[in-house]
Structure 1
Amino acid sequence: GAGHGLERDYESLLAKAEGEPHWPALAPDDILFVSYTSGTTGVPKGVMLTQQSSVNCILHSLISFGFGPDDVWYIPAASAWVVVMMYAFGLGNGMTTVIPDGGYQLQAYLRDIERFRVTVGLLVPTMLQRAIVEIQTNPVYDLSSLHMMIYGSSPATPKLIRDARATFKGIKLLQTYAMTETTGGWISYLTDADHEHALREEIELLKSVGRIGIHYDCSIRDESGQPVPIGQSGEIWLRGNTMMKGYRNLPEATAEAMPDGWLRTNDIGRLDERGYLYLLDRQKFLIITGAVNVFPTTVEAILVEHPAVEEVAVVGVPHPEWGEAVVAVVVRKPSHSDVTVQALIDFCHGRLSRPETPKHVVFVDELPKTSNAKLKKGELKKWLSGGAVPLPWQLEIA
């Protein structure tokens, strides 16, 4: 339309067009789109995703989730990253997809579930936690059409899962593990039956992200790239038919991430003898304190059980004696604004080992997150390491 001041006008070009368009032939390995990573561990990278990997992602996802043509699918996220692939699932079975307009608003999402009779939803753990609080505080939302709530994209604590089960009564829960580098395709699944079993007799299973999908090979490897025994932790390597072509304009990073047809995920995990994958943490966030490896998610899972903790992130900060110190960054619940640093540290005693127990707790009003609600741990680590908040051992040195 007139008034935009740009060199070409879309409507004018259409008016001048003649005949049928001559689309170029597409090969399976041709790039369909480039999706940037969320940048939680550094600068976002452009992930090149192909025509064929996208087709495979759609088909595998529909089969694995059991989506049917009568489902109504709703993810409350902007289609500015690999989530656009999830909005394309309906191309494989004709189901209805609800695409939000504007920024995410929790109350609007819950009202939309009722308005569009949504059958399957997806929330990242941060959104899920807020949805639980909202539903418990204001039980006015009609969620009767919902038969499954999927959650994933970042680790969820057992407490969050228990609360979700209690809040979304009669609704199946499914946890997933996925990456932009796998075209957003889900790597593993903790099914509703797994949730039932875990809550009934094996609570530790809630720390798992489920069993590997049939369309992936998974190998846990040490720093030299050699497979480790079952039950031992290491970097998660994946192989399958939904993998990226590489990182845009980053040939060295691509070669490092994709040796011999495998994808190095930079995630630390372990497989048990039944095939359940336990996602321990991002390799870049592993804390080495006094030569002991500490996984931040282990510490977070304990701290979030404290009644005063609304949200928590744990990072490693330089320490003159231990190399790194475990520091917890906590958002307190308004009802427990008087909780002290020492009270939270004391809560960890007997629940965590001495190296895992935080040496300090920093209280904040909110945690930094990406546009898709992922925690910016890299930013937190940089903030604390830079001396923005005086830590006890820094004051002792001064």
Structure 2
Amino acid sequence: MQSVAKHFRITKNETQPIATTYATGLIIKWVLNNMNTEIKPIVRTLDDIAKIAGVSKSTASRALNDNPLISEKTRLKIQKIAKDHNFIKHYGASSLSLNTSNTIALMVPKYDENHYDLVRVKEDPFFNKVLAGILSQTDLIGKELLISSFDPASPVKIAQLVNSRKVDGAIVFGATDENEKFSDHIPANFPIVFWGNMRTTTKYKTVSGNDMEGARLATQALIDAGKKNIAYIGGFGESPEVSARFEGYKKAIHHLNSPKFISGFGRYTHQSGEQQMRQLLDLYPDIDGVFAGSDVLAMAAISVLKQKGKSIPENVAVVGYDDIDMAEFFKPALTTISQNGFVAGQILVDKLISIIKKEPDSIEQRTYIDVHLIRRESCQ
């Protein structure tokens, strides 16, 4: 920009206010004419981004977080708007004004040594995908995440969090029918969302994979591969998730000429998977197909089958569940059911925030994540 001094001479002569005002006006006019800048609308909130893009606030939120549920064209458009306006959200003031903790809890159930416990969290890579989605979404909306464990039979710990007002709501990982006992300890209006299936009709909002359909697809893939004696191995049978997958397995097996149900149940760990596979082979040495309720269990089953001299998939074909990162690089590469755990985590947060904002009527009672078969070497 050329120096203003070359075009105007300004004095401090206070006896010429009209001339001074005129000169000032000329300066402003010159500056504006010589600045090639576009005056942009003020963007302070996610609502502002959504209005400019002509989309809903939730769509704008997901687009900024690269959620695959939003089309690439829309994502790029909204991300460009945010970038062009140097969009940075500030959450502290709103948290104070609303008297909220600005924190949500992720509660992971623990049981005694004979049941589902925190071992699964340690060994199950799918949980990490869900956790990544939760963290991504809480970071996007400016919420803190508190992770803790609790006893589902007596969720006193969650009740203590509610009473302490340390959290605005909770995501509970691993829905079971015991979750209905929450109402005995926790106020009915406290925001809670569950990951997982429930057998009974529930008043709580849930997010889960379509377990029955996923299991049916997995078992059908084994049938299509010409397998007749197909076994199922999974977690504990009382879990609604396991029950749904076992039902999907049986639904597909029913269509065989001589249906035979071969099943084992235990933990979602490698050690438990090996144990289940050995026990089933001792009882049914003619097994030629295995549907495992998780990729970890499928890999454990393959390990035992190889030890027994079985060729995969020629002698025994195997299908897993979850499509964890290792599944593609396992030897043989694992055929599995894919469900997007990252997106599931994001949806869990979105649902919880809707409840916190008292918008429960705008969201479904149960949300199912799409499932589909990924065919690889272990079942062709």
Which has the larger helix fraction?
2
Greater relative contact order, per chain length (Cα 8 Å cut-off, separation 6+): 2
TM-score by length of 2: 0.30
Which has the larger strand fraction?
1
TM-score by length of 1: 0.29
Mark the structure with the bigger radius of gyration.
2
